[in-house]
Amino acid sequence: MGLSFLGTRVIKELLMLCRFILP
């Protein structure tokens, strides 16, 4: 369950970063 939670968090952060870099 730890790995799944970490993965989801990483993906969410990556998505936010992408949206911030290229609006």
How many whole angstroms separate alpha carbon 13 and alpha carbon 7?
10
> Model-level pTM?
0.49
DSSP at 1: -
Q: What is the pLDDT at residue 17?
A: 94
Q: What is the per-residue pLDDT across 1-23, written as a single tens digit (0 to 9) for each?
A: 678 888 999 999 999 999 988 86
Tokens 């993906």 belong to 11
What are the phi and psi torsion angles at 22 (to 5°)? -120, 95
DSSP at 22: -
Amino acid at 3: L
Q: What is the pLDDT at residue 19?
A: 92
Amino acid at 16: M
